[in-house]
Amino acid sequence: MKTYYTNATIYRGGRFETGCLAVEHGRVVTAGEPRPGDRVADLGGLCLVPGLVDVHVHLREPGFPQKETIATGTAAAARGGYTTVCSMPNLCPAPDTPATLGEQLEIIRRDAVVRVKPYGTITMGQRGCGELVDFAALAPQVVGFSDDGRGVQSAELMEEAMRRAAAVGKPIVAHCEVDELLRGGYIHDGVYCREHGHKGICSESEWRQVERDIALAEKTGCQYHVCHVSTKESVELVRRAKARGLRVSCETAPHYLLLCDEDLQEEGRFKMNPPLRSRADREALVAGIVDGTIEVVATDHAPHTAEEKSRGLAGSAMGIVGLETVFPLLYKYLVLPGTISLERLFDLMSKNPRRIFGLEGGVEAGDPADFTVLDLGAQYRVDPETFLSKGRATPFAGWEVQGRAVLTVVGGKEVYDEMKVED
């Protein structure tokens, strides 16, 4: 039996077309005409796009189920229109051996409703120093290697990590942070920080390590991806690296595109790492997505308990949630005003992540049927109390947004359905 999704505006091959999408045995197939017994679902002219991909999420399991579980995190992802997420390795136990990775994979197999591609750690225990993991042993089951949450401090250690990652054909995905430049900071070292008596994190703590790593990537031939760039200097370093033809890419997050340190409030929902930077940094990041320097938007979805986020800027844990809000935020505040096109937004959230990380799924014949149906006219306010994620901390609470995922399909299975599509 085939399922026909009819009366859809399909984003395929870089353009929109009106038509239908047929699915059989979990894959997109040539449509043809429905036969008796086939299911026909009328999408009412809504927008059908390749499923969204988030290459940077924290699902917190195993180790911290009070913050999030694979079940709740992937439910939130499905609601946000994501069909694939890549899970960061700051877990307990850290996925630094096939055995510890296996604990995470077992939960994924049991509970995930979207595709979850885990990262392996770069160092044993995800310490950012010490002993490297066995890259070859982990490579078959990971999307890449990262110590996200910690920067690898030793250039020599990172160079060797890159050589080993290159040998197994996997990217290094780096959280760039020079520990000796942090100096106890927790928000951007800017005007707000100084006027309100906080401790600041300087921009150099990020871009200095990006600079180092790009040089090492050029030396080793390793594919290198920079997590959550937040500074104008990092954007320029990546731009120059790409101009030299290096295998370098980067991501930023919606909060860095829409907020800066002028928007800070004395609440934990405004605290994340890296921190909200200056207006000039935000403008450079927007310019980076416009000119293609920044190829990926990722959420850095990082849930914590309400208590952990209730201690203000100084005392709260670092991290906010984002899986359920990204598309409506960026559609409302970047696409509708004309800063970027809708096509560019889909490139940032779907096409480019798949290409860079070699991920499956889409809307072409033969693809695993991973797609999202969007109601671009839906208007509403961000309400954290409705989130499917356990996390509620978002700086966008109460914002007016537009556009929402109403149907998410993974491998032909409808894993989120707000439409209640009828035959």
The set of catalytic residues is 300
How far apart, in whole angstroms, are the C-alpha atoms of residue 28 and residue 52?
Answer: 16
Name the helix (H) or strand (E) containing 157. helix 155-167
DSSP 8-state class, residue 268: G
The 10 Å CB-count burial string (b at 16+, else e) for 263-293 is: ebeebbbbbbbbbbbbeebbebbbbbbeeeb
Q: Whose CA is closest to 85, among 359, 268, 421? A: 359
Rounded-to-integer distance, Cα 137 and Cα 116, Å: 19
Q: Show the beta-strand stretches assigned E in 51-188.
A: 52-57, 82-87, 115-118, 172-174, 187-188
Q: Which amino acid is at 45?
A: G
Tokens 């990775």 sit at which residue? Answer: 101
Residues with Cβ < 8 Å from 199, sequence gap 6 or more?
A: 183, 184, 185, 186, 187, 193, 314
